[in-house]
A and B are shown apart, each in its own frame.
Chain A
Amino acid sequence: MTLHIGQSQRRENARRHLAGRGRFVSDLALPRMLHAVFVRSPMAKGRILDIDTEAASLCPGVLRIFTAADLNPRCQPWVGTLDHFAGMQSPPMNILAENEVLWAGHPVAMILARSRAEAEDAADQVLVDIEDTEPVTGGAPVLQPGAPRANEATDSNLCYETLLETPDVDRAFTEAAHVVEAAFTFGRHTAVTLEPRAVVADYDPASGALTVHHGTQTPYQFQDVYARHFGLPEGKVRVIAPDVGGSFGMKLHVYNEEMGTVAASLILGRPVRYVADRLESFVSDIHARDHDVHGRMAVAADGTILAMEVDDLTRIGAVSAYPRTSAAEGNQVIRLMGAPYRMPDYRGKLSVAFQNKVQTSQYRAVGHPIACAVTEALVERAAEATGCDPFEIRARNLIADDAYPHVSATGYQFEKLSHQACLARLREMMDPDALRAEQAALRTRGIYRGFGIASFVEITNPGATFYGIGGARISAQDGAVVRMLPSGDIHCAISVTEQGQGTETIIAQVVADQLGVAPERVSVTTGDTATTPSGGANWACRGAGIGGETALRAGRQLRDRILTLAGALVQADPATLRLAGGAVVDAASGAPRIALEEIGRIATYRPDTLPDGVDHSLTVAHHFAPVGYPFDFTNGIQGSLVEVDTETGLVKLLKHWVVEDCGRIINPLLVDEQIRGGVVQGLGPALFEECQYDADGQLTNGSLAEYLVPMAVEMPDIEIAHIETPTQDTILGAKGVGEAGTAAAGAAAMNAVNDALRPFGACLTQTPMTPLRILDALDAALQERTAP
């Protein structure tokens, strides 16, 4: 019986946030709390000759100034490699720079003062003498033998490389009627969360307990990290992630500043607060992307895709991120190439290179937008080469909906996807014939519109093969404790976390349906390692699929307990009873037998009246780890309609369409919110967002005056439709949806821009597609046309 799963329910915490009752770490003030500010290297690379803190130490309000010698010995260094990335290397990292500074922004000293303002004033007085050396900031040449190195601890700038190939890939290219190819560049961008990174570390020397209030999506991971790296018993470490103002993958990495804040609290025995300001977020939050990809596609005369070959060079920081590494994005790029298509052959080469910039690592839709943009741009070229239309070539090559299970050329196993149904639905929504007619009519008036589409596959519900197999202490399982209160209300404590996406709301819906109550009667606790069971929490689109299944199974166990107890109370076989409307009812007739509050009252206050041997415990704990396929892939397709002003290079986004299949939909409203937010986060880097560096390794647009984020006024209407193909791996059947919008929005927009520019022969292969790049492409095309 399903009542609330599948219903649009408003996000439970939205009302609290709207009322200004949010509880963010940024707002937390504890007695005797100190404020931390970090002195950062202004150089991208260099050797520290001297740090003079004397003048700073005399500033008003300053309690302590720490350098590497004070903090680093308190912390085990961390190394951002994973065992299953064979041959990967990265130097150990610790809190403050010891001898070398590795990027502009690398923390070298930490000031602790009574207020942030006093700490900042003191930071201004710290004299850091750095002998700067030539930083590594370039592209492919950084990997050549003898090239200057980004850090002195590794033997080259190659962090990791890998190659995937099928045996017949070369033959496919030889025999192809057409080979299309292009070189792509995907700019760096960053998360720009509304609430920046925030942490308040509170060590109590009397009890030996460390409590860290941390705006993170993965509290259990940080409980483990803090315990191991600071040598504390895990049971003495508590991590609390209350309301978190956006995370998008950026808030699950280990950062120097958070580790420094914990170390300072351990040393001083009082609470220490660090909240990144916007300027330092740009030079310390992880960045994402930064890939150069050369791609080729082999196509038969009838438009059948035979093979792809890609070479991806991605430039990370001087050190790989911890604990998920900076190589996982590239790894997903080369594995997701061509994923929606029957394409039998493939070769993908990945090179991950160190350079002296901010670290890159996982950010919403890790690798997906790159694999999707390259694949879909090549599909467009293949369509052009073979005279197919964009819908026709995809219909010809997308995996048939009845051809599952299917293994991709890169080795991904797909349980069941719905590409063809999604394509057909998108065609109905977009009406491409009408768009073509409109395009032709407008061109005669000098208005250049274009549309583009992009199919995608998204990785969700990852099992332990994702990180656990590589030795990372990152949980693939989740846990829930569900209990019935004496009143009959339900409480669920669960390890998946809430950053504004509505996790708590959908968990309440799932639990409510197992126990026959309204979701309003289910309260949900998340984000506190002391009050919720350990689990993976939220990343890689696992909250609904894995967390939801955990809640479902725990709810069913509690249901069985309640029915057993009710059977004893009403003297009926529990098998003839079920839960509905807040009561135990007769399974066949639905007639009420006993209300939940009556069961709660007896179990709690009068267990003495129960027959001997009847278990009156109304709390269950359950843990669930994904079984079956290593991932539950989702799929979908997006369309974009744009207008390009060929005089100014400005792109107007007119409309965006998404057809998405995330399996069982728990809450249509929140699923659509996830898709819309994801689309915006995909369109941002396609058109606006880029962390720009100069040749000296200086970030030159690290403020919101210069770094362009997508605003509501630039965003188009986003129309969404769904196909539902539940996974059979779970009872719930839900897959993830958080990254779907981001995965393909940029690819669709790039195809749309290039469709608009087709009459000029101009073609963009670099993101963001800024007005300048569009004008340059138009100019290059003009030069080519007019060349003798």
Chain B
Amino acid sequence: MKLEGEQFLDADPMTVWAALFDREVLAAAIPGCESLDQTSDTEFAAVVKLKVGPVSARFKGDVVLSDIVPGHSCTLSGKGSGGIAGFAKGAAQVTLTPEGTGVRLRYDADVAVGGKLAALGSRLIKSTAQKLTDAFFANLSEILAVPETAEPV
């Protein structure tokens, strides 16, 4: 299943880039994220609770970042198991392109799902994936929009 899209983020590329590698930012931005541990510079272990149609599941998975061109692009690949609900695995190519005052983030993902999730049908999976992606970027934009001075001292 192919997922693709792009999002304009009103922040400079290096800020966005740093956010994508920031455990706390990611944990706050990923919808349903229950825990996110950074296991190395380029690896994360996540537990995410998702609901797809009638199936809800707690996914445990690992994400690895590779092909890293700092400030420009990287590949995220991962595999998650949702127990009886099934599994998901895939890879996404993420590219940042400066645009005006901000940056345009583009992603091209190829995702395979299995088990009960797959059987629900790609229409449901795809619309849910789109919804989750939208939520992720909305969260990210919100986090990036917070002025630095607002951070607690």
Residues of A within 8 A of B (CB): 39-44, 104, 120, 123-128, 279, 282-283, 694, 696, 698-703, 705-706
Contact = CB atoms under 8 A, between A and B. Distances in A.
B86 interface: yes
B91 interface: no
Interface of B: 53-55, 57-58, 81, 83-87, 112-124
A703 B114 contact: no
A705 B124 contact: yes
Nearest to A127: B83
Contacts of A126: 83-84
A124 B57 contact: yes
Contacts of A104: 114-115, 118-119
B85 A124 contact: yes
B121 A279 contact: no
Contacts of A698: 112-115, 118-119
A520 to B, nearest CB: 46
B121 A42 contact: no
Nearest to B1: A694
A723 B138 CA distance: 69
A694 B57 CA distance: 22
A701 B124 CA distance: 10
Nearest to A698: B118
23 contacts: A39-B84, A40-B115, A40-B116, A42-B115, A42-B118, A43-B87, A104-B115, A104-B118, A104-B119, A123-B83, A123-B84, A124-B85, A126-B84, A279-B119, A282-B119, A694-B112, A696-B114, A698-B113, A698-B118, A700-B119, A700-B122, A705-B121, A706-B123
B119 A702 contact: yes
Nearest to B55: A279
Nearest to B60: A127
Nearest to A55: B83
Nearest to A41: B115
Contacts of B121: 700-703, 705-706
A614 B76 CA distance: 91
A124 B51 CA distance: 13
Contacts of A123: 83-84
A42 B114 contact: yes
A175 B54 CA distance: 61
Closest 7 CB pairs of A and B: A42-B115, A702-B119, A706-B121, A698-B118, A42-B86, A42-B114, A123-B84
A43 B114 contact: yes
Contacts of A283: 119
Nearest to B117: A42
B114 A700 contact: no
B114 A702 contact: no
Nearest to A120: B84
Contacts of A279: 54-55, 116, 119-120
Nearest to A125: B83
B122 A40 contact: no
Contacts of B118: 42, 104, 694, 698-700, 702
Contact of A706 (B83, B84, B120): B120
Contacts of A705: 53, 120-121, 123-124
Given A698-B118, A703-B119, A40 B84 contact: yes
A512 B83 CA distance: 57
Contacts of A696: 112, 114
Contacts of A124: 57-58, 83-85
A167 to B, nearest CB: 49
Most B CB contacts (10 A, CB to CB) among A127, A694, A700 go to A700
A706 to B, nearest CB: 3
A702 B118 CA distance: 8
A123 B86 CA distance: 12
B117 to A, nearest CB: 8
A210 B124 CA distance: 43
A376 B126 CA distance: 40
Given A126-B84, A702-B120, 15 more contacts: A40-B84, A42-B84, A42-B86, A42-B87, A104-B114, A104-B115, A104-B118, A123-B83, A279-B55, A694-B118, A696-B114, A700-B118, A702-B118, A705-B120, A706-B121
B106 to A, nearest CB: 25
Given A42-B114, A124-B57, A705-B124, A699 B119 contact: yes
Contacts of A694: 112, 118
Contacts of A702: 118-121
Contacts of B84: 39-40, 42, 120, 123-124, 126
A44 B113 CA distance: 12
Most B CB contacts (10 A, CB to CB) among A40, A123, A703 go to A703
B116 A42 contact: yes
A699 B85 CA distance: 13
B80 to A, nearest CB: 11
Contacts of B57: 124
B69 to A, nearest CB: 30
A43 B84 CA distance: 11
A97 to B, nearest CB: 14
Nearest to A706: B121
A104 B114 CA distance: 8
B115 to A, nearest CB: 3
A700 B58 CA distance: 21
Contacts of B55: 279
A43 B121 CA distance: 16
Contacts of B86: 42
Contacts of B87: 42-43
A62 to B, nearest CB: 14
Contacts of B115: 40-43, 104, 698
Contacts of A700: 118-119, 121-122
A126 B114 CA distance: 17
Nearest to B112: A696
Most B CB contacts (10 A, CB to CB) among A39, A124, A125 go to A124
A699 B113 CA distance: 10
A41 B121 CA distance: 17
A7 B122 CA distance: 50
B82 to A, nearest CB: 8
Contacts of B54: 279
A675 B54 CA distance: 36
Contacts of A699: 118-119
Nearest to A43: B114
B89 to A, nearest CB: 9
B2 to A, nearest CB: 12
Contacts of A43: 87, 114-115
A541 B113 CA distance: 41
A599 B122 CA distance: 69
